[in-house]
Amino acid sequence: MGRLRSLLEMEAVRLFRFPMLELITIPAFFFALNSALNFDHQGMSMTGFPGQAVWLEQLILRYSKMIVWRQLTPFLGSYTYVAFIYAALTATIAGDLSSGYIALILSKPFRRSEIFMVRTLLTFMAPLAIFLLANSASILIIGGLDCFLADPWHALICYSVSIRSFLYVFSVCLALTLIAKEAIPSFVSSLLFLYGIDYAARALPKNPVIPNSAFTDFWFALGSAGASPPWSSILMPLAISTSLVAACYFYFTRRLEV
């Protein structure tokens, strides 16, 4: 346990030294709070609900669900930003491979599996945690704690889809990093691929073959009153993500030459 803790501390200091942590935190909180301050309360009208007090609970439930949905879906609008951050973070892994840093760490009493797990978890969890923290703060600003308590299951679904969306972007960047093994080619190839997927999703909306389009289709169905989200559209991006991470783990621990 002490060995893993020292490895975790060492990698965290290397990965999030200035200005990387600031590049993640400042824009994430800015966009989330800006979205909260400009939130359109008029769009949450009571249309469709009778004025009787018996419908008050349903109205509050609908209002709370829409706040959670509208504050977590900005991932779709900040896809470019999220792709940039993960491309930059995973490129540092490629840089460490080419510079010989990974070889140096492997010469110490650390297993390959430990190095892979610590580095990938730090790289994946930091942007995700900051994004969720920033957007959770904006939800509290707009509607308070009741937004989470009114329908915990809906909130859990929204957070789960956010996590899966981030996992998809991260897994693509990680796979391209281990293929390129150089910082600049890794960064450029990750951006080109992810931005290309985003362009294809815009050109071919609701195409289940394109992961980003599948996430978009699910998100907006989730936010539509009475619509049933296409749960099958989540399976393909999730399968791609888990397969890529598993393949990267196998390659790093069994095949990678450093």
pLDDT value for 247:
96
What is residue 155's predicted lDDT score, i.e. its pLDDT? 86
- CA–centroid distance for 94 within its chain: 21
Q: What pLDDT digit, counting tens, does each position of 23-52 carry?
A: 888 888 888 887 777 766 555 554 544 445
Q: What is the pLDDT of residue 40?
A: 62
Place of tokens 């957070």: 159
- Can you give the pTM of this predicted structure? 0.86
Query: What pLDDT was estimated at residue 15?
Result: 81
Tens-digit pLDDT profile for the chain (258 aa)?
667 788 888 888 888 887 888 888 888 888 888 777 776 655 555 454 444 544 566 777 777 877 887 777 766 657 888 899 999 999 999 999 999 888 888 888 888 999 999 999 999 999 999 999 988 888 888 878 888 887 888 888 888 888 888 999 999 999 999 999 999 999 999 999 998 888 887 777 666 556 766 777 776 777 665 556 777 777 888 888 999 999 999 999 998 887
- What's the pLDDT at 56? 67
Residue with the two structure tokens 């009787």: 52
Distance CA 185, CA 98 (A): 12
- How confident is the model at residue 113, as a pLDDT? 92
3-state secondary structure (DSSP) of residue 79: helix
- Whether residue 89 contacts residue 15, with contact meaning beta carbons closer than 8 Å, is answered with yes
Which pLDDT score is estimated for 205? Answer: 65
Q: By C-alpha distance, which of 83, 94, 119 is closest to 184?
A: 94
What the block records as the tokens of 33 is: 């709070």
In 38-151, which ranges are continuous DSSP H helix?
56-72, 74-77, 79-99, 101-106, 112-143, 146-149
